[in-house]
């Protein structure tokens, strides 16, 4: 069975967490989706690139989540979420995923 790349897990977690919170109107449920994907991605990052890189990418994931809020006030909610998800996904691919391919 093929493993889903951590870049897709992380980007999907950011997008899926926001979508879940928005469409269910239950922010804690969106947070659960965000956290679950973050845990899976962090585990994959650690396996592929080591603890230091995993910590840096986890920090980027959390910063992306936090940064999407003020960014949304400038560009809109969905563009902000897609932007930070793309940024985290690219960072994941560069620092971890392409090493494990």
Q: Tell me: the pLDDT tens digits for 10-69? A: 999 999 999 999 999 999 999 999 999 999 999 999 999 999 999 999 999 999 999 999
Q: Is residue 1 part of a domain?
A: no
Q: How many CB atoms lie within 10 A of CB 85?
A: 25
Q: Is residue 96 part of a domain?
A: yes
So what's the pLDDT on residue 99?
Answer: 74
Q: Are 30 and 22 in contact (CB under 8 A)?
A: yes
Between CA 65 and CA 45 the distance in angstroms is 18
Indicate the number of domains in the chain: 1
Between CA 78 and CA 84 the distance in angstroms is 10
Q: Are 48 and 24 in contact (CB under 8 A)?
A: no
User: Whole domain around residue 76: which residue ranges?
Assistant: 7-100
Above 60 in pLDDT, residue 1? no
């Amino acid at each position: 069975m093929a493993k889903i790349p951590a870049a897709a897990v992380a980007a999907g977690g950011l997008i899926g967490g926001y979508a879940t919170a928005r469409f269910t109107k239950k922010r804690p449920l969106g947070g659960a989706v965000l956290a679950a994907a973050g845990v899976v991605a962090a585990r994959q990052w650690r396996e592929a690139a080591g603890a230091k890189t995993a910590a840096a990418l986890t920090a980027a994931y959390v910063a992306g989540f936090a940064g999407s809020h003020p960014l949304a006030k400038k560009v809109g909610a969905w563009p902000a979420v897609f932007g930070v998800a793309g940024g985290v996904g690219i960072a994941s691919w560069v620092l971890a995923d392409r090493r494990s391919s």
